[in-house]
Amino acid sequence: MRFMLLMHKPYGTGEYQAGSWSPEDLQAHGQFMYNLDRELAKSGERVAGEGLAAPREAKIVRAGKNGAPALTDGPFPETKEFLAGFWIVDVERPERAYEIAAQASLAPGPGGKPLYIPFEVRQVMTGSMDA
């Protein structure tokens, strides 16, 4: 079973604002995520995973009247959180995906305290799209 683990971070100020962290805190956070990623790869559970660029670099794309891409800049004022990264894991049971998300949720922030990052866990649908 494949699951996508979507890492959400609150938008705004506070402990999630890595730009204000000390170099040591940034290093510890990055090393934690790197180590978890390596563990998942070693166990064969990691299918894919990436961190994402800052929300200010996001674009919403729709087709314009002529079919050409029409872009809108982000972030948007009403945004309360943003997608910071993801993993796709291949596990035997949903509970294992939940365990991995909980482990990733404990990534350290300032002073090494766990951030308790919220993760959305969704099963990746498989099967043919042919009708």
**pLDDT confidence of residue 75:** 57
**pLDDT confidence of residue 11:** 66
Across the beta sheet with 2-10, what order do the strands follow?
A: 46-51, 81-90, 2-10, 119-123
Residue 62 inside a domain? The answer is yes
* Model pLDDT for residues 56-92, shown as the tens digit of each residue: 788 888 898 999 998 887 655 566 678 889 999 999 9
Tell me the residue range of the domain where 73 lies. Answer: 2-123
**pLDDT confidence of residue 23:** 93
Using the CB atoms, write b or e for 71-91: b if 16+ within 10 Å: eeeeeeeeeeebebbbbbbbb
**pLDDT confidence of residue 13:** 55
Model confidence band, residue 1 (pLDDT cutoffs 50, 70, 90): very high
**For residues 93-113, average pLDDT:** 95
**For residues 84-103, average pLDDT:** 96
Residue 128 inside a domain? The answer is no
**pLDDT confidence of residue 35:** 97
* Model pLDDT for residues 9-48, shown as the tens digit of each residue: 876 655 567 778 899 999 999 999 999 999 999 999 999 9
Tell me the sheet residues that pair with 69: 63
Residue 44: give its domain's CATH number.
Answer: 3.30.70.1060
120/31 Cα distance (integer angstroms): 22
Domain total of the chain: 1
Residue 131 inside a domain? The answer is no
**pLDDT confidence of residue 7:** 92
